[in-house]
Structure 1
Amino acid sequence: MEIKARGLTFDVYEGGPEDGDPVLLLHGFPQDHREFDLLVPRLQAAGLRTYAMDQRGYSPGARPAEVSAYRISEMVADALAVLDAVGADRAHVVGHDWGANIGWLLAARHPDRVRTLTAISVPHPRALMLALRVRPSQKARFAYTQVFRSPIAERLLLARNGTMLRWMLRPLHHAEQYVEAMHEPGRLTGGLNWYRAISADQLATTGVVKVPTTYVWSDRDGVVGLTAALRTADWVEGDYQLVAMKGVSHWVPEQAPRELADAVLARIGV
């Protein structure tokens, strides 16, 4: 369905029992709602109502031109607006990559709207900031973000029919669809603008999370190291679990959907 909110139009893919508890699914870069295709059947079979939104920059009707329109606070407000539009006072939130960042901020700043949080791959922002300060290896893992912030990022990623994007996404079920989608006008720029608009001050005030939370980390994640994963516990006061997956890379929802579904359902309690 299309949801008009905040002057934009978001594509939201819903399913499951209409009276089921709502679950908001938030994707990362350079994916979209399809990264949860292997997860949502399990959630819906458990009686949950799922809403997987294509976020700002990805939905065709939600691609503002200004970089400042992609500050992380805007995406948090988008998620809240979608919950309002579907009539969900509170929801279980599941987010991967950038979607996990949005989930952490939602849970910390709007705990009245979040029943549970399952954050995948990306840890609590304050734990990540600590790791970036004390672990050179974590800083090295994030070197790619400087490329994504550069003015030539679009040309690099789409050169030779998207060779770099294909290399990044090579393990994924929907890799070709993601690459093809990035040829849509404004889509890749919108996704890259998340990187261009972010700054430490936007994350530094992320507080302690008091809602029940599961953080899913994988030992072959090339983006997030062990220190950030372990220190996430420092920033959660609600019931908390770290689920560490072995032999899985950053792309957890598509590489380990069965194990992820187990973790999500255990957190939700169904």
Structure 2
Amino acid sequence: MRYFDRDGLTFDLDDSHDGESSPPRDVVVLLHGWPQDRRAWRSVTPHLVEGGLRVLAPDLRGYSPGARPPDPAAYEITESVADVIALADAAGAQRVHVVGHDWGGALAWVVASRHPERVASLTVLSTPHPAAMAWAFKNGDQARRSAYMVFFALPVLPAAIFKRATRRFLVRSGLPSDLAAMYGQRMGRPGAARASLNWYRASLPLRQMLQERLGRGRSQAPNGSAERAKDASGIVPTTYVWGSKDAALGRDAAERTGVVMRRAAERAGLDPDAVYRFVELEVGHWLPEKRPAEVADAVLKRVRGH
């Protein structure tokens, strides 16, 4: 497969497996973050293929040229969840192992929450559990770390800046210059920067934060959303990989993820050590690019032990 379609949109895709051996039984879906694309996994994929997996790495909504709807509402997380399920259907996979980084990690948590019957295992890089993130906003330092997201959610200015300055921004954040140039080139194409930032604009918590900062009062989340966040991925075997030098996502939320997951396992009558594993790496935010072997090892251990 090189593409898959959903609801009139066409998504670019890398589909990798060892064609010399029998068809792989396990399928893993890799979900990239901002402002990456599917090439973020290029050093991780060979390890997973060698481990006997079929690896599907799509360019997500807003990154594939054929999947850039202009309306920010089209980037609500439920739409991206449906994209992932459509990919699994197109690949003929009843259950998949989901791996996500950054925004792809946030998406991975919700896919597991909404469709646990389709997710064999979950490996999330950098992004904490949504309930842990909310807890750290109130009780830790995550609000300070996430302040930049308010700027990213503004309508015009961020896209104009990142269209020209993505490479410099990424190098300063610790990404190697060659990879920063690769992602920066894509962000410079017409419509790419604006479409990718629609992920921030469509996020309900960010809209609430923006309204509060602009003095427009507090909007309320839909009824039951807090409970859904608490239960996200409650019974899906999960590995969480976090970089201790991540400037955007701090230790408070990372450690709270373990509390949330272990409590969920106990409520379900499951062994917390079997359900949840935490891997801490001494590195910053860009785990797939800078620690591909360790990331692949975490995925393979979760797949084999699920």
Q: Residue 181 of structure 1: SS of its match in structure 2?
A: helix
Matched, 1:133 2:134: no
Unpaired runs of 5+ residues, structure 2, are 206-220, 266-271
- 1:268 and 2:300 are equivalent in the alignment: no
Residues 86 and 172 from structure 1, CA distance in 2 versus in 1: closer, same or farther, beyond 3 angstroms?
farther
Match of 1:231 in 2: 256
Q: 2:204 aligns with which of 199, 214, 227?
A: 199
Amino acid at match of 1:3: F
Return the offset for 1:172. 5.7
Please tell me the residue identity of whatever aligns with 1:265: L
From 244, 255, 268, the equivalent of 2:280 is: 244
Q: Is the 8 A contact 1:34 1:174 kept in 2?
A: no
Offset of residue 190 of structure 1? 1.1
SS in 1 for 2:65: coil
Structure 2 SS opposite 1:115: strand
Deviation at 1:168, TM superposition (A): 3.8
Superposition pairs for residues 94-109 of structure 1, below 5 Å? 94-109=99-114
Give the corresponding residue for 1:148. Answer: 152
Aligned to 2:66: 61
C-alpha distance in structure 2 between counterparts of 1:250 and 1:167, whole Å: 12
| Equivalent residue, structure 2, for 1:253 | 288
Aligned residues of 2:4 and 2:13 also touching (Cα < 8 A): yes
Q: Kindly state the Cα deviation for residue 243 of structure 1 after the two structures are TM-superposed.
A: 0.4
Give how far 1:160 is off.
5.8
Matched residues, percent identical? 43
1:186 aligns with 2:191: yes
Q: Deviation of residue 170 (structure 1)? A: 3.8
* One-letter identity of the residue aligned with 1:224: L
> Considering only aligned residues, what root-mean-square deviation do their CA atoms show, in Å?
1.8
SS in structure 2 of the partner of residue 174 of structure 1: helix
Using a 3 Å threshold, how does the CA distance of structure 1 residues 132 and 234 change in structure 2: closer, same or farther? same
CA distance in 2, matches of 1:219, 1:173: 23
Counterpart residue type for residue 183 of structure 1: G
CA offset digits 1:177-207 (Å, max 9, x no partner): 1000111221111110000110134864322
Q: Structure 1, residues 145-192: CA drift from partner, whole Å, max 9, x if none?
A: 011111200122234685435534643652111000111221111110
* Residues 57 and 64 in structure 1, CA contact (< 8 A), matched pair in contact too: yes
Q: Contact 1:172 / 1:254 at 8 angstroms: preserved in 2? A: no
TM-superposed CA distance for 1:227, in Å, is 1.3
1:14-53 matched pairs, under 5 angstroms:
14-17=15-18, 19-20=23-24, 21-53=26-58
SS in 1 for 2:100: strand
